[in-house]
Amino acid sequence: MTDAITRDNLFRQVPKKPQSKAELTDSTSRAITQAETDSRQAKTQRLRQARLQMEARQPQPVPTKGRAKKAGRTSRLAAS
């Protein structure tokens, strides 16, 4: 009369909601898009880090002295 309690009869399984083809396609495309976005962001971070390391290894350019400015011509009004 009393059945043995097992995992199958103790917990009632909730039936999963069947997905339509459109929902299935949408969720799949979102997963693919998210994976591509994650891959692109990881690549951007990796390239940015490599660029910063490369810039850090390069010696700083020595600033050169600028040429002295030539004496400018005076305006004609000031010469009158």
pLDDT digits (tens, 9 = 90+) for 34-55: 999 999 999 999 999 999 999 9
Q: What is the average per-residue pLDDT within 19-29?
A: 90
Nearest residue to 46 via CA among 56, 57, 38: 38
| Greatest Cα pair distance in the chain | 126
pTM recorded for the entire structure: 0.49
Check residue 20 and give its pLDDT.
Answer: 86
Is residue 56 predicted with pLDDT exceeding 80? yes
Yes or no: say if 49 and 42 are a contact pair by the CB < 8 Å rule: no
Q: What is the average per-residue pLDDT within 65-71?
A: 74
